[in-house]
Structure 1
């Protein structure tokens, strides 16, 4: 802004003109000679000089007085406010925007050193202007006093306690026998009407010249300012309204000598794209900094009103996304209306925007898989057998095996809409959504199931058991077992899903023969199985950048001993090995662990799982770039190849359960189905469906692990993998499968009582 200069006519004082009447006489030179030779003339000249000095002094005093008067009446308050830096953007792998920062017009009010009468007059003008533009303002008082019904908005005891708080009114308890009064400045007001009158008449000096509606408008704004009075008096403007239209901002700025104390700014606000809800547990959300967070981050330049990441990438990459706040001048007019002047903003310190994060996620695959999973869950939720159970949930992960485990998709249902956390202060529906997200103990939409929930892998685990069997020489690819449908160990009978007859490894995998793995798993033993699981990263955190990853459980003698108090239950039995070998028992892994492990079976390498591809500063410089390297697993190809062949047979043998899913696919994939029995407390026995796979078979590029809880089977989950593969290979554009709203996004609780 530039200084506006004015020309005041009073600053130019004209000297008085005097007509001297001189009689005609000698010529000019003679008259002058005679004049200066006269004694009276000399005296006259001296008098004129004295008069001139006196006149000059008077004019000088008038000039100085005018200047002093102007300076006193036009002093402008010039302060600085913190300019919040734009938060960095978040993109998917193709550069599609998922989270950004937008600017919205904000209205603040700063201390202009006005009297109560002056301030109330200005605030009424401001309130009426805001009403004309239908802008919400001044709702702070609604938490204390309902101005419509004239009732306290909280209990009387709570209201009295607040009035006694020294940080606010600091009033004393009303003595017994003393009548409360609106004009009394010492004692609490126990009734709403007296409290209202006290605020208007005594606290804020709102004149009786205003009608009742005008008084309430003024009170709303005065109370908003009063709740922030300490900061207000220190020069920090108080927020009055947000989302002002540009036309209103123009009026306030052009007529700011009328609206003294008004400050308009543009504030950075987080905004999530509609696609963000497909990836919410990965992206996360932001919120206002808490006191504990401020204690930690204040030394890094954070302010008390800053926004910080609360979950997901928003939290993980906080130090990159946040940026550096700046300082900007603001100027307000005093009570002398348009006699003020603006100061040039030479002392501003520009804010530096945060860095941008590019994810490895491909939103086409993410959305295709999410829509398909939502369709499948909807079907299961309407299954009569499970309508009394909690609604189904699910997760799926696709890893890029050619790019060291870059996460191409990480699906979680139910999910949530991160935009609700931005809108909840001004939108009741968004507030209800957030309340449900945080309280839904059945659906748990806020968690990232793919890394935070571990489950029994069911029969998908058999491929890992197979690697331990082959690598330890317990059996080879041609070794056979005669499956009669049952298996006895320690006097206990364990069932197979069928009577498969003579089976070897590839058939055992394709037909999911329990008997084969009971037999060779028992011969292997838990002590030789455990190291293979460790080599495949099962039961260990992958190291993905996201917070909250769980390691799950990898079965062992020590683990069992640590889980049970009864010494007899702490011992490891042969039956435990039998259960473990088919993916039950103490096996518990996350979807991301299973995807990584099946990728290792496919390639012989354990990938460095990551979801952040690159972080760049606002100037374009690269701050971080994914550069991990896969780690070779120490297993012979002769042991890995028979397992791959069995997984291929799972998708190509007409007798296998995944055949119908992939019969017409343009690529060859290898997979393994699994169905894990699960007991839900208070509901009974159900089952989870799991599927792990990779493609193409002869040149593995991607690996998938997916499951759906409550009522699903592994073969059913293979349909989800087919959709994700097809989208990856470009065989089809993704479909929404008729899904109009993702599970968990609405404000409706994700629980049995709300089942369709």
Structure 2
């Protein structure tokens, strides 16, 4: 039988429960108060900053990219503003359906879709990627009216890079392209990530890449107040971006155009230099390409055409192409012979039309030979036999040592990336080049071929022009450069790129005069006389023909495949007494230097010295029948 509870017992139990509940409530409120204290006092700074960050967004202000102009102010690279339609893939539920719907408002081509897919493969899903660039005003209006239907799609005003000269000077100017993973790594290595926030493009080639830091500028920032949905409410504070600096080049764009037109449809390169400063007047590589194709991401068809073309238009032949110099090597070897005492100007040899070495006949380009040949005639008439014998007398070590002083086999240090070092042959080079012991041995017959600019000799047109400019400057070698001065975007002040003398080669004036006189003779009475007939100025030059395919004693004729024909070369400087321009010309598979390369040099000299524009230069057929030796005729 259960006991009956009295009112006093019930009251006590109630009070006990109330006390427990009160304690629990006090503890809970204490915990809540402690939490409030922790959040509001202890962690105030942290959460205040977080709240402010949520309220205020930092938006990067992308700087205007600097301009690139030639020495006369002609613009080669500029910017313009246009609208672009962009998609953030992570914010779009059905990308294909969205693009299909957009295509009814904006013209979206298959190439635009392919480019977007490529960009998605290279980018992060939360990045905004362009589906269409350069929208018309009508397209902009149509999209704005329907914008609510497309979450994750936005319209942005962006600056676009434009190359108004198109193909002209493309290899030296280069181009920009979208930033990829490799570019990001480079930016991070340079600790420049903050300066590239909001930037989508970066220099990829040419001056655009070499002078990226100067051209890019400094990114600014804008503090924008946003609502809970992330929409901008008002601008609070702005730090303006600093535009990139402008590049003013040493290049004369009109001269560049004269050269490119003179080449016509032929392949090759030309480099023209101011001997007294190292400033590049023209740097031509043909065929060329349109850099505008690369700005927004080149299409697959355009890329295939450029990349798979047998003419290799993307290769900068002036810097990257390494070719045998042929007989343009002879004036430098003759000067080296004078410097070393291996020859005197009047020392002559009898040329029977060949040079016998170890039972092998190294043939001269002229059957029957040139008779008695001294140094002057050896250059004017381009006598191979003279240089076969000279190379054997000097030996490969002395040749390599003295020719290296003129920069052969070394990079010039020009202010643009991608330069090849070429090959200045020597026994040491051969030991490093080949793996098998039997391949590493240097043979005497190889030295003979080196004497006429054949064999392992391989130099870039830039190196050949650089050496010619050094010769024209009396042995003073200047570092070649393309930028004349850098113009500040802030105040218009100019940082002049001063000429940088690299070294002075110790050459006796009388030795220089011997070579100069002989090179003048080339254009007056020798192999270059036809091209320079009637010129009102005195010029010095040397023709060259570099063998591509051995005819093994056969005759050179038009039946030879065009790609197997000899390369045509020519070096020159003018006026001969006080040179203001020095150059090297290469015409790939052009045949003979006097026939294909020298007329291009004449057109350059006529324009630069006289302001005379060529009426038009028809490419001569280099396949006309003519004799050839181990080095080919000039």
Q: Verify: 1:648 aligned to 2:542, yes or no.
A: no
Retained in 1: the 8 A contact 2:116–2:130?
no
Aligned pair in 2 of structure 1 residues 615, 696: CA closer, same or farther (>3 Å)? same
Instruction: Return the match for 2:67 from 89, 102, 120.
Output: 89
Structure 1 segment 673-688 matched on structure 2, within 5 A: 673-679=543-549, 685-688=564-567
* Distance (whole Å) between structure 1 residues aligned to residue 343 and residue 618 of structure 2: 48
Partner of 1:468: 336
Instruction: Return the match for 1:395 from 250, 269, 273.
Output: 269
Retained in 1: the 8 A contact 2:61–2:220?
yes
Retained in 2: the 8 A contact 1:316–1:546?
yes
- 1:645 CA drift (Å): 0.9
- TM-score, with structure 2 as normaliser: 0.76
* Distance (whole Å) between structure 2 residues aligned to residue 553 and residue 353 of structure 1: 42
- 1:326 CA drift (Å): 3.2
- 1:101 CA drift (Å): 1.2
CA deviations 1:449-500 (Å, max 9, x no partner) are: 1111211101111111101111122221111111111111122111112221
Q: Verify: 1:626 aligned to 2:525, yes or no.
A: no
Retained in 1: the 8 A contact 2:283–2:318?
yes
* Distance (whole Å) between structure 2 residues aligned to residue 512 and residue 237 of structure 1: 63
The secondary structure found in structure 2 opposite 1:520 is helix
* Distance (whole Å) between structure 2 residues aligned to residue 341 and residue 607 of structure 1: 57
Aligned pair in 2 of structure 1 residues 477, 245: CA closer, same or farther (>3 Å)? same
Retained in 1: the 8 A contact 2:178–2:296?
no
- 1:423 CA drift (Å): 4.9
CA deviations 1:59-92 (Å, max 9, x no partner) are: xxxxxxxxxxxxxxxxx99866433322111111
Partner of 1:724: 604
Instruction: Return the match for 1:265 from 156, 166, 189.
Output: 156
Aligned pair in 2 of structure 1 residues 347, 238: CA closer, same or farther (>3 Å)? farther
Partner of 1:559: 429
* Distance (whole Å) between structure 1 residues aligned to residue 293 and residue 88 of structure 2: 30
- 1:573 CA drift (Å): 3.4
* Distance (whole Å) between structure 2 residues aligned to residue 341 and residue 659 of structure 1: 75
Gapped runs of 5+ residues in structure 1?
1-75, 145-223, 378-392, 740-756
Q: Verify: 1:479 aligned to 2:341, yes or no.
A: no
Partner of 1:610: 481
Retained in 1: the 8 A contact 2:116–2:131?
no
CA deviations 1:572-621 (Å, max 9, x no partner) are: 33322221111112211111111111222222211211111122232145
Retained in 1: the 8 A contact 2:528–2:594?
yes
Retained in 2: the 8 A contact 1:256–1:333?
no
CA deviations 1:404-429 (Å, max 9, x no partner) are: 1111011101211101112556xxxx
Instruction: Return the match for 1:412 from 254, 265, 285.
Output: 285
Partner of 2:390: 520
Partner of 1:733: 613
Instruction: Return the match for 1:324 from 218, 239, 244.
Output: 218
Retained in 2: the 8 A contact 1:359–1:614?
yes
The secondary structure found in structure 2 opposite 1:509 is helix
Partner of 1:315: 209
Retained in 2: the 8 A contact 1:484–1:501?
yes
Instruction: Return the match for 1:435 from 304, 310, 313.
Output: 304
* Distance (whole Å) between structure 1 residues aligned to residue 346 and residue 129 of structure 2: 79
Structure 1 segment 449-464 matched on structure 2, within 5 A: 449-464=317-332
- 1:244 CA drift (Å): 3.0
* Distance (whole Å) between structure 1 residues aligned to residue 279 and residue 480 of structure 2: 6
Partner of 1:348: 238
Aligned length: 543
Aligned pair in 2 of structure 1 residues 135, 81: CA closer, same or farther (>3 Å)? farther
Retained in 2: the 8 A contact 1:252–1:259?
no
- TM-score, with structure 1 as normaliser: 0.65
Aligned pair in 2 of structure 1 residues 131, 458: CA closer, same or farther (>3 Å)? same
- 1:362 CA drift (Å): 0.7
Aligned pair in 2 of structure 1 residues 257, 475: CA closer, same or farther (>3 Å)? closer
Retained in 2: the 8 A contact 1:596–1:609?
yes
- 1:249 CA drift (Å): 4.9
The secondary structure found in structure 2 opposite 1:348 is strand
Structure 1 segment 115-514 matched on structure 2, within 5 A: 131=104, 231=126, 241-246=132-137, 249=140, 264-273=155-164, 275-298=165-188, 299-300=191-192, 301=194, 302-303=196-197, 306-328=200-222, 343-375=233-265, 377=266, 393-402=267-276, 404-424=277-297, 431-440=300-309, 442-498=310-366, 499-514=369-384
Aligned pair in 2 of structure 1 residues 622, 712: CA closer, same or farther (>3 Å)? farther
Partner of 1:713: 592
The secondary structure found in structure 2 opposite 1:584 is coil
Retained in 2: the 8 A contact 1:423–1:431?
no
Aligned pair in 2 of structure 1 residues 327, 737: CA closer, same or farther (>3 Å)? farther
Retained in 2: the 8 A contact 1:364–1:734?
no
Partner of 1:601: 471
CA deviations 1:199-226 (Å, max 9, x no partner) are: xxxxxxxxxxxxxxxxxxxxxxxxx99x
Partner of 2:83: 105
Aligned pair in 2 of structure 1 residues 568, 129: CA closer, same or farther (>3 Å)? closer
Aligned pair in 2 of structure 1 residues 694, 263: CA closer, same or farther (>3 Å)? same
- 1:363 CA drift (Å): 0.7
Aligned pair in 2 of structure 1 residues 574, 332: CA closer, same or farther (>3 Å)? same
- 1:519 CA drift (Å): 2.4
Partner of 1:48: none
* Distance (whole Å) between structure 2 residues aligned to residue 576 and residue 637 of structure 1: 32
* Distance (whole Å) between structure 2 residues aligned to residue 135 and residue 475 of structure 1: 72
- 1:646 CA drift (Å): 0.9
Partner of 2:408: 538
Q: Report the RMSD for the aligned CA atoms in angstroms.
A: 3.9
Aligned pair in 2 of structure 1 residues 603, 675: CA closer, same or farther (>3 Å)? same
Aligned pair in 2 of structure 1 residues 722, 264: CA closer, same or farther (>3 Å)? same
* Distance (whole Å) between structure 2 residues aligned to residue 344 and residue 711 of structure 1: 66
* Distance (whole Å) between structure 2 residues aligned to residue 143 and residue 534 of structure 1: 50
- 1:657 CA drift (Å): 2.1
* Distance (whole Å) between structure 2 residues aligned to residue 551 and residue 133 of structure 1: 50
Structure whose alpha-carbon radius of gyration is higher: 1
- 1:567 CA drift (Å): 3.8
* Distance (whole Å) between structure 2 residues aligned to residue 230 and residue 687 of structure 1: 53
Moved over 6 A (4+): 126-130, 135-139, 141-144, 227-230, 250-262, 329-335
* Distance (whole Å) between structure 2 residues aligned to residue 251 and residue 490 of structure 1: 83
Aligned pair in 2 of structure 1 residues 297, 563: CA closer, same or farther (>3 Å)? closer
* Distance (whole Å) between structure 2 residues aligned to residue 366 and residue 138 of structure 1: 33
The secondary structure found in structure 1 opposite 2:302 is helix
Retained in 1: the 8 A contact 2:62–2:198?
no
Gapped runs of 5+ residues in structure 2?
1-53, 551-559, 620-634
Partner of 2:41: none
CA deviations 1:344-393 (Å, max 9, x no partner) are: 42333333221111121111111111111125x2xxxxxxxxxxxxxxx3
